[in-house]
Amino acid sequence: MLKYWTKYQHSIWSGLLLMIRTLAGFGAQKVVAIFYGPAGTTLFSHFQNFVALFAQPIQDAVANGLINAFPKKSLKNVQVVGASIILLILLAFCSGLFLFISGQFGASIFSFSLSDWLLIIPSILLFCFGLIIAAVYVIQKKLRLYSIILLIQWSIFFFSISLIDLQLHQFLIYWLIIQSLFTFFLIIPVYSLLKFNFKIEEKVKNHFKQFLIMALVIWLSSKWVNYFVREFSIQEFGVIQTGFWQSIVRVSEAYRGLMISFLFLTLYPFLSRKMESKELKVSALMKKYLYYSLISLSFLFLVFQFDALILKILYDEQYVKASNLFQLQIIGDFFAFLAFPFSIYLIASIQTKVYVITELLSAIIFVTLITLKSTIGIEVLVYAHIVRFTCYSIMVGIIGIKKLRDAF
């Protein structure tokens, strides 16, 4: 038993960490569904997406670049950390400027006052810095400690909101602040590892440059596309119908995010190490991919069978109306699951051009179908989801297999 624990403890703690994140996300959605209804679900999802417009490029460009750089002996760790801090500041500033120019801070949909924004913006910056600290925990394999800190954080959050009565906009702010403040607790155990040097060599810059390009593509093809589509849905189908659609999207994003996070915590570092040492075996990798595909299919089949029950448990009785949309969403999710390992391989092997093209094409397909076929009704959103990820899985699958065979 001890032998298996020693061998698989990193994967076990990865799974527990992701479980904590997922349950916390579902818990927050449940609270919003009960107290604020479908309209609250829409606004909560929109606010989470707003925060992600800052956090996502920092996660993909800085945190993932940091994880990928540490095993490479040719890159000095102090410079890698220094470059991460510089990129964090630049990306946060650019994201904020872009949002300000596009008028998002003045959006009345959230009902935030100036004093609210003065709380929100610093909290977002602190939250984003926490993403870099989390990457250090992954590098140092301190996932047990990271899981414990997150468990304490969310326990405090849910206990405290049971004692106070918050309006929706206050709930949104509090949800963000509690995560931001716990960044300080994350820093303390790994403080000694955060040594940095702002004199960055060219090879370190080039390393992060590839991740930056891919992160900006995801920023446009994923987060901004989601933001645009949600606003489009609110205008076309109303805030209530959008709330029902968002309920199934949030569940879908949760288990897709769970899988992506698990693969980034396990497959991504594995690929980085094996490619660095030239020990990656394609046949063994494809065998594991087959097992992964079968597990994914089994999981999604169970979700499909119990879709109405899942919506009732995670949200409320009235959200069962979205079960037909949920079933269609699951079909698209299966093709997304098939694509994930190949996408991560493209990121780990820094296949920038290929990654950019496939991401942008899938986003264009998604938005085009929605805007041209909106007369179908809100169902067009899930139809477009199916077509998008069917095309995406085919593209990255064919390209990924070819690149693997050529390289190894």
| Residue 138: burial class (beta carbons within 10 Å; 0-12, 13-18, 19+) | buried
Question: What is residue 379's predicted lDDT score, i.e. its pLDDT?
Answer: 93
- Alpha-helical regions (H) of 219-351: 225-237, 239-277, 282-305, 307-314, 323-348
Cα–Cα nearest to 63, from 214, 174, 197, 167? 214
Cβ atoms of 107 and 35 within 8 Å: the answer is no
**Per-residue pLDDT reduced to its tens digit, 262-296:** 787 777 777 777 666 666 677 777 778 888 889 88
Given this model, what pLDDT does residue 274 score? Answer: 67
- In the prediction, which pLDDT does 367 show? 92
Distance CA 40, CA 176 (A): 16
pLDDT score for 105: 66
The angle formed by the CA atoms of residues 352, 18 and 260, to the nearest 5 degrees, is 25
Can you give the pLDDT at residue 99?
73
pTM listed for this prediction: 0.77
Residues 6+ away with beta carbon under 8 Å from 214 = 60, 61, 347, 352, 355, 356, 359
- Helix then strand then coil, % of the chain, to nearest 5: 90, 0, 10
Environment class of residue 270 by beta-carbon count within 10 Å: exposed (0-12), middle (13-18) or buried (19+)? middle
pLDDT per residue as tens, the chain (408 positions): 555 445 556 667 777 887 888 889 889 989 998 888 888 888 898 888 888 888 888 877 777 777 777 666 666 767 777 777 787 888 888 878 877 776 666 655 777 888 888 888 899 989 988 888 888 787 777 888 888 889 999 999 999 998 888 888 899 999 999 999 988 888 887 777 677 777 777 777 777 777 777 777 778 777 888 888 888 888 898 888 998 999 999 889 888 887 887 787 777 777 777 666 666 677 777 778 888 889 889 999 999 999 999 999 988 888 999 999 999 999 999 999 999 888 888 877 777 788 888 888 999 999 999 999 988 999 999 999 999 999 999 999 888 888 777 666
User: Tell me, what's the pLDDT at 407?
Assistant: 63
Farthest-apart Cα atoms in the chain, separation? 59
Task: Report the C-alpha gap between 342 and 347 in whole angstroms.
Answer: 9
Residue 229 identity = V
Nearest in space to 44 (alpha carbons), one of 28, 23, 64, 66: 28
| pLDDT of the residue at 279 | 67
CA dist 341 to 270, 272, 352, 365, Å?
A: 12, 13, 16, 21
Half-sphere exposure of 333 (CA within 13 A, CB side): 27
Q: How far apart are CA 334 and CA 313, in angstroms?
A: 22
Are 389 and 375 within 8 A, CB to CB? no
- What's residue 130's pLDDT? 87
